[in-house]
A and B are shown apart, each in its own frame.
Chain A
Amino acid sequence: MRFKGKTAVVTGGTSGIGKETAVRLVKEGAEVLFTGRDESRAEQALQDLEKLGGRAYFQQQDVTKTEDWLRVVEQVEKTFGRLDVLVNSAGVFTYGAIEDTTYEEFKNVWRSNVDSVLLGMKHLLPLLEQASGVASVVNVSSLSGVMGHPDCVCYCTSKAGSLMLTRVMALEAAPKVRVNAVAPGPVWNELLERAHAGQNKEEMQEYYRESQPMKFLGDSSDVANGILYLASDAARYVTGTIFRIDAGRGAD
């Protein structure tokens, strides 16, 4: 129970890595406010979390909108009074060659993957600074923020942006708040499954598994494990770190 008595906000908490992180935080004793765009998905997530006997709350949120963040702040103040953990997991993935990429799309991906993190930090920092111990922010970036891929200019650029944002915020928020990022490679979860809807599932899993140096295709729990380490007091001397969870891809 690494998070007994702790409070947490997890964005993108209705699916994928965010949902798994929210579940694990509840399991380990935290009270969690998770947010997401899709209210219909939240119902199931909320039921799952309550079944664990934990306290969980949901708020509908578009992470690119300041007014939505202000409502999260209001909810955190009302429900928790302070904040110990913020996990910025919401984000979008797109791909396409630059000639097929519109400026609008580029800006939208940036807004979803970078503005969202900036807004979360900006608006929740005062509540994180009120944590009893040192609070912790974990940003879910991507291996694509560390290394480039062709036909992926929006996503790679935005994820690199969130990594530098992590470093700068680590300096600004110290010593009361730690700020770190995980940089996961592909993991098999409902997001990837949705992205490959209509294709053969086993073949797609095989494709992703074989594309890693270590022929292992993880799932959301593998990333959540790293997020929980960084979010917990076990990592009390860790800030500004970019931690790859990528079956060796970024070391190659």
Chain B
Amino acid sequence: MANQSRVQDMVAVVTGAATGIGFASSKALLEEGATVLMTDIDESNLNRSYKELSALGSSVSSSFLDVTDENAWQVIMDRVIKDYGRLDILLNNAGVVSHSLLRDQDMDAYQRIVDINVNGVFLGSKSAILTMRANAGDGPPRGSIINMSSIGGKRPLQTLGAYCTSKAAVANLTKALAIECAEKREFIRVNSIHPGNTKTSMTETIYGNDYFEDEANYKSVPLGGHGIPEDVAEAVVYLASDEARMVTGSELTIDGGLSVILAGRN
């Protein structure tokens, strides 16, 4: 168990918060002292998850959000400032996947991946940066934006070409934003997390519900076994907190060592 209250009194927005990594991260941020606005496009799961977390304390709220809707982002940011007066943390976690060889890729599914995984991160980051700037007070703007990429953003994964393409874009968008903020002499940090083989509703959608029950499916993972959303949530808390005040434009890989054995760049 980590130190308590590592993100005390910070205000966080989490996308894709209804399930999986977004839910576990919302929970971890709450437990470490943050106020969390959970957002998701899946309202029924969001309501259920919100109810579960609101039992832990009052500093959680929820809202429907389509991350591809620029106006909706504005509404979310207005609400955060009205209700809490500040924004410290944005976790761009919402993402989708489709399972296909690129040559057979359905273009509608492709466009949906690009819209949500790439454009959604762009819109969220832009909204958050503008909000952090507008509410900085006397000092330089501060905040932590955390973008969910994937080991697929570092290495190509068979039959996940469109997804990998989108996640590589997220990784580079992250670095570009990190440098852009830094060169404006801001302390808005932007980092990406690269999970691999993590059991979530999204990965179960790709691989099937039984995938994570059968160890043969990830026997190539050096550490063995699969990751769980809480593994990623731990990294989110670290990157969100002041412990990582010197960390920006960095990648944090959580994949049991799998990417080490896949050829490609570091």
A238 interface residue per 8 A CB criterion: yes
Contact string against B for A residues 210-250, beta-carbon threshold 8 Å, 1 for contact and 0 otherwise: 00111110100011011001001011111111111111101
A218 to B189, CA, bound (A): 14
Chain A neighbourhood of B224, CB < 8 A: 174-175
Q: Is the CB of A237 within 8 A of B246?
A: no
A163 to B260, CA, bound (A): 11
B198 to chain A, nearest CB (A): 8
Chain B neighbourhood of A195, CB < 8 A: none
A154 to chain B, nearest CB (A): 21
A251's partner among B2, B179, B222, B254 (CB-CB below 8 A) is B179
Q: Is the CB of A242 within 8 A of B222?
A: no
Q: Is the CB of B222 within 8 A of A175?
A: yes
Q: Is the CB of A239 within 8 A of B222?
A: yes
B75 interface residue per 8 A CB criterion: no
B82 interface residue per 8 A CB criterion: no
B246's partner among A171, A174, A218, A240 (CB-CB below 8 A) is A218
Q: Is the CB of A171 within 8 A of B223?
A: no
Q: Is the CB of A239 within 8 A of B250?
A: no
| Known A245-B246, A248-B248, A251-B249; contact A174-B266, beta-carbon cutoff 8 A | no
Q: Is the CB of B179 within 8 A of A241?
A: no
A144 to chain B, nearest CB (A): 14
Q: Is the CB of B246 within 8 A of A239?
A: no
**Size bin of chain B's contact surface:** 35 or more
A117 interface residue per 8 A CB criterion: no
A63 interface residue per 8 A CB criterion: no
Secondary structure at the A interface, as helix, strand, loop or mixed, is loop
A171's partner among B2, B175, B257 (CB-CB below 8 A) is B257
B103 interface residue per 8 A CB criterion: no
Chain B neighbourhood of A212, CB < 8 A: 182
Number of A residues, CB within 8 Å of B:
44
B175's partner among A1, A170, A225, A251 (CB-CB below 8 A) is A251
Chain A neighbourhood of B2, CB < 8 A: 2, 232, 234
Chain A neighbourhood of B3, CB < 8 A: 2, 28
- Seen from chain B, the residues whose Cβ lies within 8 Å of a Cβ on chain A are 1-3, 174-175, 178-179, 181-183, 185-187, 189, 198, 222-225, 227-228, 231, 234-235, 238, 243-257, 259-261, 266
**A–B complex contacts, Cβ < 8 Å, 27 sampled:** A167-B260, A175-B222, A175-B223, A175-B225, A178-B257, A213-B178, A213-B248, A214-B181, A215-B182, A216-B187, A226-B243, A226-B244, A229-B243, A232-B2, A235-B235, A237-B255, A237-B256, A238-B231, A238-B252, A238-B255, A240-B222, A240-B253, A241-B253, A246-B250, A247-B182, A248-B179, A252-B179
A-B residue pairs, 4 tightest by C-beta: A251-B249, A174-B222, A240-B260, A214-B182
